[in-house]
Amino acid sequence: CPPLGLETLKITDFQLHASTAKRYGLGAHRGRLNIQAGVNENDFYDGAWCAGRNDPYQWIEVDARRLTKFTGVITQGRNSLWSSNWVTSYRVLVSNDSHAWTAVRNESGDVIFEGNSEKEIPVLNKLPVPLVARYIRINPRSWFEEGSICMRLEILGCPLPDPNNYYHRRNEMTTTDNLDFKHHNYKEMRQLMKTVNKMCPNITRIYNIGKSNQGLKLYAVEISDNPGEHEVGEPEFRYIAGAHGNEVLGRELILLLMQFMCQEYLAGNPRIVHLIEDTRIHLLPSVNPDGYDKAYKAGSELGGWSLGRWTQDGIDINNNFPDLNSLLWESEDQQKSKRKVPNHHIPIPDWYLSENATVAVETRAIIAWMEKIPFVLGGNLQGGELVVAYPYDMVRSMWKTQDYTPTPDDHVFRWLAYSYASTHRLMTDARRRACHTEDFQKEDGTVNGASWHTVAGSINDFSYLHTNCFELSIYVGCDKYPHESELPEEWENNRESLIVFMEQVHRGIKGIVKDVHGKGIPNAVISVEGVNHDIRTGADGDYWRLLNPGEYVVGVKAEGYTTATKTCEVGYDMGATQCDFTISKTNLARIKEIMKKFGKQPISLSIRRLRQRARQWREQ
């Protein structure tokens, strides 16, 4: 049977009860598998249920609110940086009325189940025979001798059909989409991609961006009406997932999304057809397949909080990128510094490119991919929370660990984050319980990364400072690795958001920068007055600049060309405003071109003057 949903919050706080609690922050509502305490471990958000007394009469119970066939219990100790507490053995009791309890028994009496031997690794105990009841109670019998009674748990059970149960029917979630709702290992993921490609050969292409530490190819699927080529004037979008191998929901959502888009395109859904014809979409479901393999082998409930998070060589891909923030801020703070750093396309430092640098092969593959394709917008799907985080992810002040640190495009990032959160079924729901320790409701399910926790070298900050692409981190669920049975509901929660966020790539201005002969000018700098962050044109001279509705003075400059500015207006309707530029070469560039054509190089004025003076001196 699947989990009842303590970890996914399907089981509400009102369904959890305990004999006693040490304090509110250690109440029954905190006794959920994999719940995190955070650094503070305060009276509101701590890392387990802890009994108020250490004796064999303590218990924690779950009210399933309907008859359920209970089949097993998974337990953990208390999540804490400072203390060690776990239960080493326990009894299980069931009841239909919460007054008369029956213990799980075998021939020799009450079964005493073996609990945990440390605080983080989940331990599963299956019941000798399934038991049908409404309530289930865990009664600790022994605990770590230097600690106290503390536990986190998940209950495995199959709810029995009950058409009269209004509560159950009201909370049922179903989907009408005919998709493959299961967890896919590496081989199955590859096969699913092939199936999608076979169904929609004209709009899909499978390719890989490199290999993992263990040699697994990092496969991506491109969805476009002309797969394999960049179309001038068409923006490029990306979703990636699985940078932390154990955050599996994002991986499955991307696999579901590629199936959905193929099916809807074939069905003629105008919204999806329009999106595919006007956008080049790249879906990379598994950035860290080595880590996923570890988590997959443990299973959805037994991997704990971190098994498979890192790459094979122990690197966290999500913040393994070059720290360009420090280079930019040092340059801004030292105005007289000789080393000026541009406000965009900041080059990667030499030390990072050396072979000895601690950089995962997966990270290097992603960077090469980001540099090769002119992405405009991207989302990296993560797990363990329900929030959209936007850059900067790094705090500017050296003395703070949390501080709102906006980019020059803060208003655009906040809109992008809100576009996903507001269309998600739960992210902006004021009645929703916080996943762990943070309540993001005050910002409508969004958060500035640095105001949450500072991270140097994040993919979001690097993408913004090194490329044209605006990237956000989308945390798609409290449970990093939900049970297979949860996937249809999670798809319904995220489907609309995934599509709406892709559509945002068409917000702002776009255009082509050409010379007087109509040829596109690559690497021209596009600047917006009042926004200290520029972007550059692609190889064909085309560009996209994400902006909120309003009127903007836009400038363009390119080496050897005159500068130009114009006013461009961004409306509220979806669709970027066309804002093209035609610029001519400067006089000096023209002279250089003519001289080069006739085999001569233009002589700079200072050298000419020196030669003239030398001639006059000789004549004298």
* Domain-located, residue 611: no
* DSSP annotation of 138: E
* Domain-located, residue 470: yes
Q: What is the CA radius of gyration of the chain?
A: 29
Domain count, the chain: 3
Residues 451 and 523 in one domain: no
At 302 the pLDDT is 92
The residue among 506, 495, 498, 528 whose CA lies nearest residue 573 is: 506
**pLDDT beneath 50: ranges in the chain:** none
Distance CA 592, CA 262 (A): 52
Residues 140 and 247 in one domain: no
* Domain-located, residue 613: no
Per-residue 3-state assignment (H helix, E strand, C coil) for 326-373? HHHHHHHHCCCCCCCCCCCCCCCCHHHHCCCCCCCHHHHHHHHHHHHC
Pick the last residue of a domain from 506, 521, 536: 506
Residues 102 and 218 in one domain: no
CB atoms within 10 A of CB 338: 5
Pick the last residue of a domain from 471, 488, 506: 506
Distance CA 12, CA 220 (A): 38
3-state helix, strand, coil in the chain (%, to 5): 25, 25, 45
At 607 the pLDDT is 65
Predicted structure pTM score = 0.92
Distance CA 58, CA 589 (A): 84
Distance CA 327, CA 349 (A): 9
At 341 the pLDDT is 81
At 223 the pLDDT is 98
Residues 466 and 575 in one domain: no
Query: Is there a contact between 305 and 7 (Cβ–Cβ < 8 Å)?
Result: no
Distance CA 206, CA 188 (A): 15
Residue 214 in tokens: 């263990």
Residues 118 and 242 in one domain: no
At 577 the pLDDT is 95
Residues 105 and 46 in one domain: yes
The SS3 call for residue 535 is: strand
Instruction: State the helix-helix crossing angle for 186-199 and 249-266, rounded to 10 degrees.
Output: 10
Residue 160 in tokens: 């029995």
Residues 232 and 365 in one domain: yes
* Domain-located, residue 93: yes
Q: In angstroms, how far is the first alpha carbon of the chain from the final one?
A: 105
Q: What is the DSSP pairing of strand 60-76 with strand 16-18?
A: antiparallel
Residues 203 and 252 in one domain: yes
Domain that holds residue 324: 186-506
Residues 372 and 224 in one domain: yes
Q: What is the DSSP pairing of strand 577-578 with strand 509-514?
A: parallel
220: β partners: 207
* Domain-located, residue 519: yes
* Domain-located, residue 600: no
Per-residue 3-state assignment (H helix, E strand, C coil) for 3-49? ECCCCCCCCCHHHEEECCCCCHHHCHHHCECCCCCCCCCCCCCCCCE
Residue whose token pair is 């003076």: 613
The SS3 call for residue 27 is: coil
Distance CA 7, CA 481 (A): 10
285: β partners: none
Return the CATH number at 146: 2.60.120.260
Residues 79 and 103 in one domain: yes
Residues 468 and 527 in one domain: no
Query: Is there a contact between 534 and 513 (Cβ–Cβ < 8 Å)?
Result: no
* Domain-located, residue 94: yes
Residue 146 in tokens: 């230097």
Return the CATH number at 563: 2.60.40.1120
Return the CATH number at 221: 3.40.630.10
Residue whose token pair is 């990092």: 218
* Domain-located, residue 8: no
* DSSP annotation of 434: P
Residues 225 and 108 in one domain: no
At 31 the pLDDT is 96
